[in-house]
Amino acid sequence: MSKGRDLKPHIGIFGRRNNGKSSIINLMTRQQVAIVSDQPGTTTDPVKKSIEIFGIGPAIIVDTAGIDDTGELGEKRVSKTYDAIKTIDCAIMVIAANEFGFYEKELIKQFKEYNIPYLIVHNKSDLQSLDSLTLEKITEFSKVPVIDFNTLDDQLLDTLIEALKKTIPETTYQKPSLLGGIVEPDGVVLLVTPIDSEAPDGRMILPQVMAIRDVLDNDCICVVLKETHLKQYFEQNMPRPQLVVTDSQAFAFVNSIVPKDVPLTSFSIVFARMRGDFQQYIKGTPAISQLQDGDRVLILESCSHQISCEDIGRMKLPKWIREFTKKDLHFDVVAGLSEIDNMRNYKLVIQCGGCVVTHKQLINRLKLAIDADIPVSNYGMTIAWVNGIFDRVIEPFRKTLVH
């Protein structure tokens, strides 16, 4: 499954083999997108499909292999099914024939572990309805909605969609603001966007594009320029900005030009406020100064890309951190949503902006480190720290932080 490439809400379908998960997906999408067969184990690796849900909007349905698969290959399929839990925003657990036992309880434990909201569908009710004994067993273990369902009755689909709308967190499909609570209407927001070898050809990176739109959504005046015109902007007595947002890599240069009484931050940091664990980043970033010789630092990239000598995560960050700490440090890089081995080996985890993953995927990505009490930071805050301007670039957010 190609993970982390779509920011729409991810809805996972889980359950035993041959419980009709694929049939439910086909009904929801109104397409034959999942293979349906009486042969157990038809679905192998998790498969994603785009869907439009009235009241929620665009979403991604994730079809998974049966949690009761057997044999060496089956165990690998089950492992991938459990891995998929870390990438979703909401789950539908499918049961059938009034079976609710070990497999279902293990799934629910994982949903709770990763804070995944879920509902339960008792499928194939045309063959066997949900009985009171099964419902009693379920309610002893879980308090979520249970729907008696079959794919032959279209009206039941409406019931499922309504239950899903009540289950999935609104925050996953409502678009949060990058600058909400930071800027005031009618003010000028200055976006400094360097165009260097790391900039994509002919376009801007997602956080920059989102920032432009967000400035307009907050009824502000948006001014976009390269760092080479920043000094000229202030020398020509242009409208004084209420906020300057820059690429983190230009922090040192931009900080030297922007007046100290003008709030300054970066695209990476405003994006981290919307997408990542902002409080944990602020708490963990000072740990950079506590690193010692021989310590290992983990760099988490959300996307896979061509590596160059200008690569921020693999080249520049390790160089800047070594220069700042004057310590002999070891750096490992893990891209995408690949597994992380031996998290406890690391003294610090630094997450990229996460512009190609969902909020839930990024939070669950950091969960291993936070649970192990390992400090976490992100690219923008790390660069600010080694440049000695951490307090300045965090200041615009102080009034919005929850203590």
Backbone angles phi, psi at 240, to 5 degrees: -70, 125
Which band of pLDDT confidence, cut at 50, 70 and 90, is reported for residue 390?
Answer: very high
Domain 10-172 falls in which CATH fold? Rossmann fold (3.40.50)
Backbone angles phi, psi at 258, to 5 degrees: -70, 125
Same fold, 10-172 and 188-271: yes
pLDDT tens digits along 343-368: 899 999 999 877 667 777 788 888 88
Cα separation, 245 vs 198, in Å, equals: 18
Question: Which of the residue ranges 51-65, 131-145, 349-363 has the most confident prediction, judged by mean pLDDT?
Answer: 131-145
Which residue ranges make up each domain of the chain?
10-172, 188-271, 280-386
Range list of H helices, 188-341: 206-217, 230-235, 251-257, 267-275, 278-284, 317-325
- Check residue 2 and give its pLDDT: 39
- Check residue 327 and give its pLDDT: 97
Q: Which CATH architecture has domain 188-271?
A: 3-Layer(aba) Sandwich (3.40)
- Check residue 273 and give its pLDDT: 86
Which band of pLDDT confidence, cut at 50, 70 and 90, is reported for residue 240?
Answer: very high
CATH for 280-386, options being 3.40.50.2000, 3.40.50.11410, 1.10.645.10, 1.10.3720.10: 3.40.50.11410
Calculate the average pLDDT of the chain: 86
pLDDT tens digits along 197-221: 555 566 677 788 889 999 999 999 9
- Residue scoring higher pLDDT (57 or 192): 192
Backbone angles phi, psi at 264, to 5 degrees: -135, 135
Question: Which of the residue ranges 67-81, 91-105, 161-175, 260-274 has the most confident prediction, judged by mean pLDDT?
Answer: 91-105
What number is the average pLDDT over the span 262-269? 94
Contact 261, 239 (CB under 8 A): no
- Check residue 298 and give its pLDDT: 95
- Residue scoring higher pLDDT (337 or 14): 14
Report, in angstroms and rounded to the nearest whole number, the Rg of the chain calculated over CA atoms.
24
Query: Which residue in this structure is represented by tokens 């070898």?
Result: 197
